[in-house]
Structure 1
Amino acid sequence: MAALKGNVLLITIDQWRADCLGVLGHPAVVTPNLDRLAAEGAVFTQHYAQSAPCGPSRASLHTGLYAMTHRSILNGTPLDDRFTNIAREARSLGFDPVLFGYTDTSPDPRILEADDPRLLSYEGLLPGYRAVLDMPEAAAPWHEWLSEQGYDVVEGESMQRPVDDSVASPAVYRAEHSEAAFLTGEVLRYLDEIEDEPFFIHATYIRPHPPFVAPAPYNTLVDPADVPMPVGLGTVAEEGAVSPILADALRADWIRAPESEEEIRQMRATYYGMLAEVDAQVGRLLDALRERPDWAQTLVIITADHGEELGDHHLTGKLGFYDASYRIPCIIRDPRTEADSARGQLVNEFTENIDLMPTILEWLGAAVPSQCSGASLLSLVRGVTPDEWRDCVFWEWDFRDPVGRYPERRLGIPFDKSGMAVIRDAAGKYVHFAGMPALFFDLSTDPDGLVNRIDDPAYALTVLGYAQRMLTWRLEHAERTLTGYLICPLGAVDRRAN
């Protein structure tokens, strides 16, 4: 096998909003370590996840496929084992791709026995990775480590909790003992063990995913008075009138944002503090890598699985059709000299998480599988915009419920019509529901998406154009593994191989 061509560090920061980078001028966010990496690479300012929540979005990131193709559309929907992914491709190149954290990959039940314990949780391992640290949301390894550090850890009780009920109460653990600190320590231990061997590492930091609790001093790092307030319509009722799915979501206490300005400001300040704590640990990891001789051969990509509404449109979490749930940061540091002239740039082209698998493979000198709908970002990282680059992005959100049958019970929507797709460009956003009325927002005059123009006659032709583009997108990116083949007297001819 040929010599491996460099190292790869792929980091995801869970539930990280696109605006939350100091280098982008956020008035309250403190991210000096991510900002330093941005200066060494490229920041993609219009980068989008393809789905929510964690499992579906990560399936797209790892396979280079839209959700309409991989169809792992819920936390718990199996990912078809026939698809390759970045870990499998890296392994085929001779790497030992290792995971620290989680991928939330639900296994294909058709290749497992009915009593296989992996069928009891959606928090499975993406095929191809070897989990050095398998740490899903319950975080059992972290809790075990905390116990070794002298904390009173009660079985079944999360340590991601505040000391008390006071405003901005710190977490019960010290900052040096956070989940992020523990995970970073395990990555550093692994790097020490492998010494100068090539590596392919995927590290997943769960914070700032809720619950919103930060250890001292990060719990008071950001003054609530300094945070920007959310965007949205004046009342929950006005927001709910935009769409039936939004109205129903806003009835849920665990989705609806706090009503008082004080609570909203504190929620945002705590979130920013949590992100600052993760930034410190990512910086700890990057600083250690900078001391290694192979830093000059290490590709670093940092992004998120999805965003966080954080009070926008009276919502929290990740759902629906608003940008805050899908627009996410992306930083790529290409160590090679071809990227030198473009270091520190802000890339404003539309990019997607499905582009990351092709980017990594091109950087490694490997072929990109025909299944992939994404395109490599390597030219953009190096300051060159490819011809005919995309002028819009797409994402999907599925809200079917195989067990509780929520759409049927609450919305009167059939199971297979419980989904939506979005096309968004610089001027507008079209939202198509299978079982509810569509939406259209004129972003050129309404950048926060407050007014639904779908029934405005003046927008009829505009809406038609977006709907036609969405149909073209679906036709172009439908499952394509065998569509390039032709069985003929010449044998099985693969057009995509030529």
Structure 2
Amino acid sequence: MKRPNIVLVMTDQHRSDTLGCYGNPVIETPNLDWLAQEGTVFTSAYSCTPSCVPARTSLISGMDPWHTGVLGTGRGQGRMGGGFPHTLPGELAAAGYYTLGVGKMNFDPQRALNGFHRTSLDEQGKVESPGFVSDYIAWFEKNKTGDYGMTDHGIDWNSWMSRPFHAPEFLHPVNWTVNESIRLLEKRDPTKPFFLKTSFSRPHSPYDPAPYYFDLYRDKTLPAPYIGDWAAVHDQPKDAQKPDAWRGKRKDEEVNRARAGYYGLIQQIDQQIGRLFMHLKKIGVWEHTVVIFTSDHGDMLGDHYLWRKTHGYEGSAHIPLIVRLPKAMRSAAIAEHVASPVCLQDIMPTILDAASVPIPETVDGRSALPLIRGEQTPWREFVHGEHSLCYSEEQEMQYVTDGQWKYIWFPRLGTEQLFDLRADPGECRDLSREADYAAALASWRERLVRVLEPRDAGLTEGGKLIAQKDRPPLVSPHYKERIDRWKATL
């Protein structure tokens, strides 16, 4: 059988409950909802390190965070770097695919290709390599219609504030990302199957949709933030005053405005994704293309007085994942929904499996193709996630979940939480101190111990979790090994 084309569409900081196909009653996402109807929705998909760089490092390598060596975006952690024995675009390129990457990549150095034949970048204004200018910024400056800059709306890259985009809609990075995807598709090598990664830099803040989309949600009644019976610890007025606060209570109208901007960005992205889908149909490849939609992590959006990412809670760690197989690979047995716990590491082996490309032994993830096909197959009991020290002692965490229960451990506090996600999807009731749930708490704590013990990193001792207060940040030895190996080849 002819190998299928592959399109991986990725958003940035997109929580799973802000799509119609995931049950949101307010947001309008018709193109992604239709993709879900044609494909399979994974209801328990998680980001194992819920911030941009570590999440994308696991996605491109198929490796767990401990093996990539990037455990977060905080203290003691490095950038993505190189030295991967195998990457998703690299394996596809070696198998004869023409590989294209558009939008946000988070590579280091920023012009690294990591297996792509060609990239066109939007890195949200980050300049981490000497002389780097992203393709989006260069295009924006060339095509803008007046004397203004990309960030003249005055909102920071991690702010809770929101307002409409200040420039004409055609200059918005969301629109540019699809325009560039179409442009590169038109210039691809037509003799090869293609892999396209279309990677949006939104709905990550700034929450700045084009005015049309902001206005759609400004006066709507949007879902209010979840506020847990334990959340008062994050009601910190001093922290809340920062324009890029990671926690703290803001006025109801400010939270609603943030959500309006976030929802508006998602609908704008959805409509641009529709344009990409139309182009795939126009060039006659739609029915011979695997299409995957996902995100690197979510956004707390004021839940429990928290903002941004890095947290183990649902808003931050629970991500959308939709997989639609080409016509020749679909059958009546295709699952509409899969509840088995999956993670970003599973995307590389799933794509390689669908393309009949061997999965390297370095890959920790598993192909979800059997789950999509409705086959009875052994699967993991739970997924494990973590994030290193970044914002403060209270934020570093380790979690395990099967999509029905979740256990979170805060190493620097020595505290823990337990949530029944079936009855409490917003994680508002912490069961860890309730006697009726002592057995469940011990069982889930033991699962985390089982994951961490082989590291021999001082996190466990004698079958127990060891608090990390006043200890140096957790660092994986695999990072230095990989980077040293990479630098030796330069």
Q: What TM-score, normalized by structure 2, do the two folds share?
A: 0.81
For residues 63 and 41 of structure 1, the distance between their equivalents in structure 2, rounded to whole angstroms, comes to 24
Equivalent positions of 1:206-221 (< 5 A) are 206-221=201-216
SS at match of 1:222: helix
Q: Does 1:132 align with 2:119?
A: yes
1:66 corresponds to which of 64, 67, 70: 64
For residues 476 and 296 of structure 1, the distance between their equivalents in structure 2, rounded to whole angstroms, comes to 45
Asked if structure 2 preserves the Cα contact closer than 8 Å seen for 1:16 and 1:328, the reply is yes
Q: Does 1:10 align with 2:8?
A: yes
What corresponds to 1:103 in structure 2?
105
What corresponds to 1:397 in structure 2?
387
Alpha-carbon deviations, 1:406-460, whole Å to 9, x = none?
76xxx5x9xxxx9532101344322234332131213155443234444455544
Q: CA deviation at 1:252?
A: 5.6
Q: CA deviation at 1:154?
A: 4.6
Asked if structure 2 preserves the Cα contact closer than 8 Å seen for 1:4 and 1:95, the reply is no
Specify whether residues 194 and 140 from structure 1 end up closer, same or farther in structure 2 by C-alpha distance, changes over 3 A only: closer
1:181 corresponds to which of 175, 179, 190: 175
Equivalent positions of 1:20-419 (< 5 A) are 20-75=18-73, 77-79=78-80, 81-106=83-108, 118=109, 123=110, 125=112, 127-138=114-125, 140-154=134-148, 158=151, 169-194=163-188, 196-197=190-191, 198-233=193-228, 238-240=232-234, 254-256=245-247, 259-342=250-333, 345-384=336-375, 386-399=376-389, 411=393, 419=396
Asked if structure 1 preserves the Cα contact closer than 8 Å seen for 2:385 and 2:398, the reply is yes
Q: CA deviation at 1:23?
A: 2.4
For residues 230 and 361 of structure 2, the distance between their equivalents in structure 1, rounded to whole angstroms, comes to 47
Asked if structure 1 preserves the Cα contact closer than 8 Å seen for 2:92 and 2:357, the reply is no
Letter in structure 1 aligned against 2:320: P
What corresponds to 1:115 in structure 2?
none
For residues 134 and 366 of structure 1, the distance between their equivalents in structure 2, rounded to whole angstroms, comes to 27
Specify whether residues 20 and 169 from structure 1 end up closer, same or farther in structure 2 by C-alpha distance, changes over 3 A only: closer
Q: CA deviation at 1:49?
A: 1.0
Asked if structure 2 preserves the Cα contact closer than 8 Å seen for 1:339 and 1:381, the reply is no
Q: CA deviation at 1:258?
A: 5.1
For residues 169 and 474 of structure 1, the distance between their equivalents in structure 2, rounded to whole angstroms, comes to 43
Q: CA deviation at 1:346?
A: 2.4
For residues 124 and 463 of structure 1, the distance between their equivalents in structure 2, rounded to whole angstroms, comes to 46
Q: CA deviation at 1:216?
A: 2.1
Q: Does 1:441 align with 2:418?
A: yes
- Identity within the alignment, %: 26
For residues 147 and 92 of structure 2, the distance between their equivalents in structure 1, rounded to whole angstroms, comes to 38
Specify whether residues 316 and 333 from structure 1 end up closer, same or farther in structure 2 by C-alpha distance, changes over 3 A only: same
Q: Which moved more, 1:69-78 or 1:175-184?
A: 69-78
Asked if structure 1 preserves the Cα contact closer than 8 Å seen for 2:406 and 2:418, the reply is yes
Specify whether residues 388 and 222 from structure 1 end up closer, same or farther in structure 2 by C-alpha distance, changes over 3 A only: same
1:469 corresponds to which of 426, 436, 447: 447
Letter in structure 1 aligned against 2:324: R
For residues 50 and 403 of structure 2, the distance between their equivalents in structure 1, rounded to whole angstroms, comes to 22
Q: CA deviation at 1:96?
A: 3.1
Specify whether residues 234 and 448 from structure 1 end up closer, same or farther in structure 2 by C-alpha distance, changes over 3 A only: same
Q: Which moved more, 1:315-324 or 1:193-202?
A: 193-202
For residues 70 and 272 of structure 1, the distance between their equivalents in structure 2, rounded to whole angstroms, comes to 33
SS at match of 1:341: coil
SS at match of 2:7: strand
Q: CA deviation at 1:42?
A: 1.2
SS at match of 1:467: helix
Any stretches of 5+ residues in structure 2 without a counterpart? Answer: 126-132, 156-160, 457-475, 479-490
SS at match of 1:194: coil
Specify whether residues 424 and 8 from structure 1 end up closer, same or farther in structure 2 by C-alpha distance, changes over 3 A only: same
For residues 218 and 463 of structure 1, the distance between their equivalents in structure 2, rounded to whole angstroms, comes to 44
Q: CA deviation at 1:33?
A: 1.1
For residues 14 and 429 of structure 1, the distance between their equivalents in structure 2, rounded to whole angstroms, comes to 23
Asked if structure 1 preserves the Cα contact closer than 8 Å seen for 2:340 and 2:402, the reply is no
What corresponds to 2:401 in structure 1?
424
Letter in structure 2 aligned against 1:372: V
Q: CA deviation at 1:249?
A: 7.0
Specify whether residues 170 and 263 from structure 1 end up closer, same or farther in structure 2 by C-alpha distance, changes over 3 A only: same
Letter in structure 1 aligned against 2:181: V
For residues 340 and 426 of structure 1, the distance between their equivalents in structure 2, rounded to whole angstroms, comes to 27
SS at match of 2:408: strand
For residues 326 and 403 of structure 2, the distance between their equivalents in structure 1, rounded to whole angstroms, comes to 31
Asked if structure 1 preserves the Cα contact closer than 8 Å seen for 2:100 and 2:196, the reply is yes
Aligned residues: 439
For residues 191 and 277 of structure 1, the distance between their equivalents in structure 2, rounded to whole angstroms, comes to 21
Specify whether residues 256 and 42 from structure 1 end up closer, same or farther in structure 2 by C-alpha distance, changes over 3 A only: same
SS at match of 1:280: helix
Q: CA deviation at 1:473?
A: 3.4
Specify whether residues 279 and 257 from structure 1 end up closer, same or farther in structure 2 by C-alpha distance, changes over 3 A only: farther
Letter in structure 1 aligned against 2:114: P
For residues 52 and 447 of structure 1, the distance between their equivalents in structure 2, rounded to whole angstroms, comes to 18
Q: CA deviation at 1:38?
A: 1.4
Letter in structure 2 aligned against 1:97: T
SS at match of 2:340: strand
Specify whether residues 297 and 446 from structure 1 end up closer, same or farther in structure 2 by C-alpha distance, changes over 3 A only: closer
Letter in structure 2 aligned against 1:323: E
Superposed CA RMSD in Å reads 3.1
For residues 403 and 141 of structure 2, the distance between their equivalents in structure 1, rounded to whole angstroms, comes to 50
Specify whether residues 453 and 85 from structure 1 end up closer, same or farther in structure 2 by C-alpha distance, changes over 3 A only: same
For residues 190 and 160 of structure 1, the distance between their equivalents in structure 2, rounded to whole angstroms, comes to 30
Asked if structure 2 preserves the Cα contact closer than 8 Å seen for 1:153 and 1:159, the reply is no
Letter in structure 2 aligned against 1:270: G
Alpha-carbon deviations, 1:17-68, whole Å to 9, x = none?
1011122331221111111211221111211111121000011111112212
Letter in structure 2 aligned against 1:77: G
Letter in structure 1 aligned against 2:145: Y
Asked if structure 2 preserves the Cα contact closer than 8 Å seen for 1:341 and 1:383, the reply is no
